[in-house]
Structure 1
Amino acid sequence: MSVASELITLNAYRALGIPGVRYIKPELLFRHLPEIRQARWVLFPEYWQVNTLTYALKKRLFPNPATYHLGHDKIEMTRAFLSVAPAHVPETRILPSTEWDGDAVHELGLPLVAKEPRSSMGIGVHLIKTRRELREFAAKHDTLYLQEYLPIDRDLRVVYVGRKVIAAYWRIGAEGSFHNNVARGGSVSFDDIPQAALELVDQVATELEVNHAGFDIAEVGGHYYLLEFNTLFGNEALNSRGISVAQHIWHYLCEQDETPPLSPQDPPLLKSA
């Protein structure tokens, strides 16, 4: 039986372009347990559904649980990076907010970068220039996630799907901006992509068993640093180049099930519950 007849997605947008998918609204999960039990794959659940689907319903998920669990929290993500590629992680301190005035400032220097563990699109990433700013930041958070400031005006977004890098592009910050995110005014360039950065992402994603992520890489003096990865990354830059994430997902699912993919002429279908 084709994998296309056994796919359920809990995110309609993310499944666009994947053939034969049935959409179920996330809030109706428990009304559709019989269909979900029969599904061969469940695509793009919300984070709160991952453990139920994995451990209670024994479903195969895409993205997989490792991608969700590591991608959900920057602290856990960074600890994983430190375990598999320590030379490629910026100097980082994770400590109780009550210790904001301890050795971290001396060791990292100012300015430094403070990150909120659960955020995206650069919203939770702050450039801290003074001890006063750090004290004010610490007053609003229980745990501090602090990293050395890297002098960059761009970073590299590397998109990894299934078992391979499918695309990479530079995100160039607007003049005077600390953030390089496209969602915050950054521009995009697909030129001069360094092979060493792609190999780093491939190594890390393979070791951590991450199968759907947009990795952010900084380059300083020819050395590459892992900043973070986003499980649900933006597709706008990829779409502009005709790169279909959905097609790569579909082929990966077929490979996992040892099922021939449909021909390119078969139209994508999205059925709603």
Structure 2
Amino acid sequence: MAKFLIVTEKKSDWAAYFPSESVVSVGDYLDHRSDKAARNTQVINLCRTYEYQSIGYYCTLLAEARGHRILPTLRTINEIANREQQLMVIHGMNEALDLAFAGHPCENVNLLFYFGQTDVPALQKMARQLFDQYPLPVMAVQFRHGPHGWQLVSIAPYSFHRLENGQQDRFSAALERFSRKIWRQPNHHKRYRYDLAILIDREEHMPPSNLMAIKRFIRAGKRLGINVELIDKDQLGRLGEYDALFIRATTNIDDFTYQFARRAEKLGLVVIDDPASIMYCTNKVYLAELLEKHKVPTPKTRVLRAGEKNWVEKTIHELGLPCILKLPDGSFSRGVHKVSTAEELESKALAMMNDSSLILAQEYMYTDFDWRIGVLDRQPLFACKYYMSQGHWQIYQHKEGGSFNAGGWETLDVMSVPRCVRETALRAANLIGDGLYGVDIKQQGNKAYVIEINDNPNIDRGIEDHVMGELIYERVMLEFLRRLQQRGL
């Protein structure tokens, strides 16, 4: 039987409703270790906000890492914040609105939809459609009357703790109905042609592929019958012209790369990096939870959150000193700090918590180099050793003004890599999906420890292609071709 959990930010938020063993605070949910392996657990996240890196955001993030079925999903949280995406969804609803608000005395109407339910019969179909697109417990919807009739102006999450008497009754009734239904995912469109866009950022100083590598991707694609063109962050509207999207700009959940991936997936394009891979790989807290659940070796790790009691002492006891502090979404060694004393641990962690509700503390494990194993479609693609920057404990040593020092590199044949490293990398990458990943590993003796999984690994001319040469570019394009052909072309 499925386990059903309702997570609130504070226990007092549920005071107006009947007590239930299914209701837990977000602190209890995040701390409860025994729930991590529970199967068939359904969770409704009723935290007060789902803003990026809020405690509500991390509730959903870690629920997905634990394999729980969560509402709202991370994808919903990120998509609802995008105004352009909303305009695509609400297009064509004017006729239903004119019928529902005929003769209404006000020019602005604000309504709440509860789990896709509304008390306005003429808007029930719309409420269901919006819930299918944005599954939210409570959705605030604003309507406005203008020269062209009634229009849906905006949709946004609404915190259930703000509900008042009659609203609380409607919420609880809708929750009761919803909890009996099967959760489902929306279908996606499919399209069929051989045109591929490579998304680049011409202003980026450290792109995942240099210009010489990009040119070789284009050549490899055209040899295989795929027309390859470059697009940049200002050309989102062109995605409909293509069958596939290859992202070669550094990905992040709150920038244009995720928006391109999400839009491309909705259009039915073959996408690398896909939105799910971007969401999961760009957050180290999620990766730590996921790897722990599946018993993939990592350095000893703790998730720190503001308000936790005795967290400094617990961290030192579990990890020792020095230890490493990481912002969840740092890249290229940014947002990563080594602390050597209790005072330094506390001050640095508290400063980092100003940017993120949760941060990562990890055992310090020095090695002369990190392995990077490239993985594509669940198979190893390339292997590199990235050496630490001279006199520094990281591969990149960032300086003021945006400059940096980087260590050396060595590219090897994949089959010459120690078996423990190769197999651990595949185990880790395959937990994310079947896209293109770079798994960073530290090796100590015959043991390999995963540091992180990158959804957007570097493939640069002269480095990662040093062993395979042109074949590495052809292998990537062949994977796009295979996926396009699988769709019936």
Q: Check conservation: 1:169, 1:189, Cα contact below 8 A.
A: yes
User: Are 2:198 and 1:9 aligned?
Assistant: yes
Match of 1:234 in 2: 458
Query: Judging changes above 3 Å, is the alpha-carbon distance between structure 1 residues 121 and 193 closer, same or farther for their aligned structure 2 residues?
Result: same
User: Are 2:458 and 1:243 aligned?
Assistant: no
Q: Check conservation: 2:243, 2:268, Cα contact below 8 A.
A: no
Query: Judging changes above 3 Å, is the alpha-carbon distance between structure 1 residues 9 and 173 closer, same or farther for their aligned structure 2 residues?
Result: closer
What's the Cα RMSD here? 2.6
Write the distance in 1 (CA, Å) between the matches of 2:475 and 2:343: 47
Write the distance in 1 (CA, Å) between the matches of 2:445 and 2:194: 50
Match of 1:258 in 2: 485
Q: Check conservation: 1:98, 1:138, Cα contact below 8 A.
A: no
User: Are 2:293 and 1:67 aligned?
Assistant: no
Note the alpha carbon deviations across 1:237-264, whole angstroms, 9 max, x for none: 21444534432210111122338xxxxx
Query: Judging changes above 3 Å, is the alpha-carbon distance between structure 1 residues 243 and 161 closer, same or farther for their aligned structure 2 residues?
Result: farther
Q: Using the TM superposition, give the Cα deviation of residue 227 of structure 1 relative to its aligned residue in structure 2, in angstroms.
A: 0.3
Write the distance in 1 (CA, Å) between the matches of 2:296 and 2:282: 23
Match of 1:170 in 2: 385
Q: Using the TM superposition, give the Cα deviation of residue 210 of structure 1 relative to its aligned residue in structure 2, in angstroms.
A: 4.4
Match of 2:8 in 1: none
Paired AA for residue 304 in structure 2: L
Q: Using the TM superposition, give the Cα deviation of residue 76 of structure 1 relative to its aligned residue in structure 2, in angstroms.
A: 1.3
Match of 1:155 in 2: 370
Write the distance in 1 (CA, Å) between the matches of 2:447 and 2:481: 36
Paired AA for residue 469 in structure 2: I
Q: Check conservation: 1:173, 1:180, Cα contact below 8 A.
A: yes
Higher relative contact order (CA 8 A, sep 6+): 1
Q: Name the stretch that deviates more: 165-174 or 216-225.
A: 165-174
User: Are 2:407 and 1:186 aligned?
Assistant: yes
Q: Which has the larger radius of gyration?
A: 2
Q: Check conservation: 1:11, 1:43, Cα contact below 8 A.
A: no
Query: Judging changes above 3 Å, is the alpha-carbon distance between structure 1 residues 161 and 184 closer, same or farther for their aligned structure 2 residues?
Result: farther
- Superposition TM-score, scaled by structure 1 size: 0.80
Q: Check conservation: 1:15, 1:246, Cα contact below 8 A.
A: no
SS of the residue 1:121 aligns to: coil
Note the alpha carbon deviations across 1:130-171, whole angstroms, 9 max, x for none: 112112212222222101111322211111123321111222
User: Are 2:438 and 1:211 aligned?
Assistant: no
Query: Judging changes above 3 Å, is the alpha-carbon distance between structure 1 residues 210 and 5 closer, same or farther for their aligned structure 2 residues?
Result: closer
Q: Using the TM superposition, give the Cα deviation of residue 202 of structure 1 relative to its aligned residue in structure 2, in angstroms.
A: 1.9
Match of 2:229 in 1: 22
Write the distance in 2 (CA, Å) between the matches of 1:8 and 1:87: 35
Q: Name the stretch that deviates more: 211-220 or 100-109.
A: 100-109
- Superposition TM-score, scaled by structure 2 size: 0.47
Write the distance in 2 (CA, Å) between the matches of 1:80 and 1:210: 16
Query: Judging changes above 3 Å, is the alpha-carbon distance between structure 1 residues 22 and 171 closer, same or farther for their aligned structure 2 residues?
Result: closer
Q: Using the TM superposition, give the Cα deviation of residue 78 of structure 1 relative to its aligned residue in structure 2, in angstroms.
A: 1.9
Q: Using the TM superposition, give the Cα deviation of residue 61 of structure 1 relative to its aligned residue in structure 2, in angstroms.
A: 1.1
Q: Check conservation: 1:97, 1:141, Cα contact below 8 A.
A: no
Q: Percent identity?
A: 21
Q: Check conservation: 2:296, 2:428, Cα contact below 8 A.
A: no
Unaligned regions of 5+ residues in structure 1, if any?
260-273
Q: Check conservation: 2:387, 2:395, Cα contact below 8 A.
A: yes
Query: Judging changes above 3 Å, is the alpha-carbon distance between structure 1 residues 61 and 257 closer, same or farther for their aligned structure 2 residues?
Result: same
Match of 1:195 in 2: 419
Q: Check conservation: 1:162, 1:248, Cα contact below 8 A.
A: no
Query: Judging changes above 3 Å, is the alpha-carbon distance between structure 1 residues 106 and 208 closer, same or farther for their aligned structure 2 residues?
Result: same
Match of 2:298 in 1: 89
Match of 2:15 in 1: none
Query: Judging changes above 3 Å, is the alpha-carbon distance between structure 1 residues 137 and 54 closer, same or farther for their aligned structure 2 residues?
Result: same
Q: Using the TM superposition, give the Cα deviation of residue 175 of structure 1 relative to its aligned residue in structure 2, in angstroms.
A: 4.4
From 117, 125, 129, the equivalent of 2:336 is 125
Structure 1 segment 92-111 matched on structure 2, within 5 A? 92-99=301-308, 100-111=311-322
Paired AA for residue 231 in structure 2: I
Q: Check conservation: 1:73, 1:117, Cα contact below 8 A.
A: yes
